[in-house]
Each structure stands twice: as C-alpha cells, then as structure tokens.
Amino acid sequence: MATGMGTQTVLQVSGLSTIYPTPRGNVEAVRGVDLALDEGDVLAIVGESGCGKSACLLSIMRLVPHPGRVIAGSVMFQGRDLMKLGARDMREVRGRDIAMVFQDPMTTLNPAFRVGDQIAESLRVHGLLPGFPASLARRSRAREREMVTELMRQVGIPSPETRHLEYPHQFSGGMQQRILIAIALACKPRVLLADEPTTALDVTIQAQVLELMREINETTGTAIVLVTHDLAIAAEFCREVAVMYAGQIVEQGPIDAVLEDPVHPYTRGLLRSIPRLGERKPLTPIMGEVPDLAALGPGCSFAPRCEARRPCCDISQPELVAVDGRRLVRCHARRD
C-alpha cells in the first residue's frame, strides 16, 4: 500500500520502557520496544491481552495513565524526541501529527456532546477552526459545519448534514468508529495509532472499518500502527508485523514471512491456536499463563511455556537478532 511514497522513517521508537507501580512491585508493561515506521507504512502489533501492545501506543503518545510512566527510551518524530517535549509542544503533536483511535467507540466518544462538536473540537484545538468566541460568528459556524460534514462524508457516514447534530448513542457501533476515525483524521496526521479499532465491532463491520483505514492510508499516506490480537486482521491489512509477548517484541518481520514460517515458538503457538475453516482437528493452545510482569525472572519470559526450551533460557534474556536477513527474533533456540 502507498508504495512509491519513499521510505523515509516517520516514527522511530527506541528502547521504550514503561512501568506501572503497584503494591506488589513495578509492572513492566513495555520493555525496551524498538519500532520504525516508514511514511505511508502499515505496521501491526499483535499479541494476547496484557502483552503491552496498548501500553506501547499510550507510551508513544505520553498518555500512560497515572501512576504508570515511561522510564526509558525515545520516540523520534520529525527530528524531535517526543519524550523530551514540553507539555504544550506534546499537546500540539497529539491529534495534529499523531492521532489515536481506541478500541470501544461507544465509550470513547463523549456521550454529552453532539458528534459534530466532537469532530470540530479536534480542528479547533489545533487552530484549523477559530476558537471561542470567534467560533460563534456566523461565518466560522458555517465553515465549521462545512469541514465537519466533509470529514463525516470522507469516512462514509450517510447524510452528514443532519447527522452531525446527533449524539453518539444515536449511531451504530460501526458508525461510531467511523466518527472516531473522522476525529483522528481531522488534522491530517502523519501517523495514526489504532488500538484494536475493530475488536468491538461485528465481523462485517470490521471489514468495512479496515477497508476505510486502508483507503485513508492509500489516499493520504498516513502511516498506521494497528494494534490487534487478531492475526487474520494483521495479515489482511499490514505489510509488517511485530509480535509482542510480556512487554517485548519477540518476532518482527514482513507479514507473509512471519505467518508462513514463524521462527519464535510463541508466534508458532499463536498461529496454531487460530481455528481454520474446514479443519476439524482440535486447536493447540499455548500451555501455561502469561508471566507476572511485576516479578520477571532473569531468563526469557516465554521460557516457562516454551516447547523449545533450553537450559540457558532460564538464565539469560535472549536478544532481538536478525534472522534470514529480513526479520528479527528474540529466542535462544532460533535457527540462524
């Protein structure tokens, strides 16, 4: 998608680490994540619940809820390290340069405001529409309505001229997600961080929303990071995939390579636990549980559940190393 856009890196995440202090100790939600996102690229981050995918996106936005905080790493965007920006500069980046879409549109839209106002707010906070009190002038109100309905039309909401006056609960889930996307796209961001944008939707609606995101990526060149637990969606939608486990990336590479020939035992387990149409043999789940992120041992965090476990796996952390030239794997038992 959007090939020929040039391969300039738009977002470079290095060594990002985030913790949540708890009475039991610090939960290490994100542990040294490196990601590079090229302009117009679509990257998937997959993994099971609690593996740190969402925390990773929130860390990039510096929106990790209190008392969690980013303890290390940098996020380079347009030559600046977002982790070092002042609060005001960071606020300008949010929504204007890097926008975010959340999982559950029902709870993400503010129930007390008309959807049109919520779309307009995005434009207003970033100066694309005049703020109060100039916003009350007849001309700016007309301009606001025009921009808002145009955005709603872009994301495929029928009759935006009347519907921009409605409240979120008057829309279906799929339409609500389209509104979220309209809000995210209002300022034409360079990067869109999508946190499980289709998880709360019906399958048919999922496909529509993904199709909409693909279209946006192709027409505007907005780079997308798609967080999902659904490998099928990643396969459908992305060129590059990063598999996360216990706060770390364990395997990363082109989606076809990773799906057809997974190297990391966790990726293999993940693929085996997906039901396939027409096959009647029982699924093979990954045994054991996700480790306690507040009490991680010195070894590989997947070792207790791993089929290819070796003695060294309990002692030292494997590094993320290049395998067959195209991808990265974090495993002692990898083949080189």
Q: How far is the CB of 85 from other proteins (least distance, A)?
A: 12
Say whether residue 36 binds other proteins (CB under 8 A). Answer: no
Cα radius of gyration (the chain)? 21
Say whether residue 171 binds other proteins (CB under 8 A). Answer: no
* CA–CA gap between residue 41 and residue 330 (Å, rounded): 23
* CA–CA gap between residue 51 and residue 41 (Å, rounded): 23
Compose the 115-134 pattern: x for residues touching other proteins by CB under 8 A, - for all others.
Answer: ------xx--xx--------
Q: Give the tokens for residue 27.
A: 């939960």
| Of residues 132 and 139, the one with the C-beta less far from other proteins | 132
Phi and psi for 139 in degrees, rounded to 5? -65, -40
* CA–CA gap between residue 299 and residue 51 (Å, rounded): 17
Q: How far is the CB of 152 from other proteins (least distance, A)?
A: 16
Say whether residue 112 binds other proteins (CB under 8 A). Answer: yes
| Of residues 113 and 221, the one with the C-beta less far from other proteins | 113
DSSP state string for 186-250 = TT--SEEEEESTTTTS-HHHHHHHHHHHHHHHHHH--EEEEEES-HHHHHHH-SEEEEEETTEEE
Which residue in 110, 172, 273, 316 binds other proteins (CB under 8 A)?
110
DSSP state string for 53-108 = HHHHHHHHTT-PPTT-EEEEEEEEETTEEGGGS-HHHHHHHBTTTEEEE-S-HHHH
Say whether residue 276 binds other proteins (CB under 8 A). Answer: no
Which residue in 5, 36, 61, 147 binds other proteins (CB under 8 A)?
61
175 and 158 Cβ atoms separated by less than 8 Å: no
Say whether residue 109 binds other proteins (CB under 8 A). Answer: yes
Question: Distance between terminal CA atoms of the chain?
Answer: 30
Say whether residue 169 binds other proteins (CB under 8 A). Answer: yes
- Rounded to 10 deg, the angle between the 138-154 and 115-125 helix axes is 110
Q: How far is the CB of 235 from other proteins (least distance, A)?
A: 27
* CA–CA gap between residue 241 and residue 229 (Å, rounded): 12
* CA–CA gap between residue 13 and residue 334 (Å, rounded): 25
Q: If you search the block for the tokens 């694309």, which residue do you land on?
A: 128
| Of residues 178 and 332, the one with the C-beta less far from other proteins | 178
Compose the 66-105 pattern: x for residues touching other proteins by CB under 8 A, - for all others.
Answer: ---------------------x---xxxxxx--xx-x-x-
Q: How far is the CB of 304 from other proteins (least distance, A)?
A: 33
Which residue in 3, 107, 284, 316 binds other proteins (CB under 8 A)?
107
Say whether residue 34 binds other proteins (CB under 8 A). Answer: no
| Of residues 192 and 216, the one with the C-beta less far from other proteins | 192
Say whether residue 30 binds other proteins (CB under 8 A). Answer: no
Say whether residue 331 binds other proteins (CB under 8 A). Answer: no
Q: Give the tokens for residue 249.
A: 């990336």
Residue numbers at the binding site for other proteins (CB under 8 A) = 61, 63, 65, 87, 91-96, 99-100, 102, 104, 107-114, 121-122, 125-126, 167, 169, 180, 183
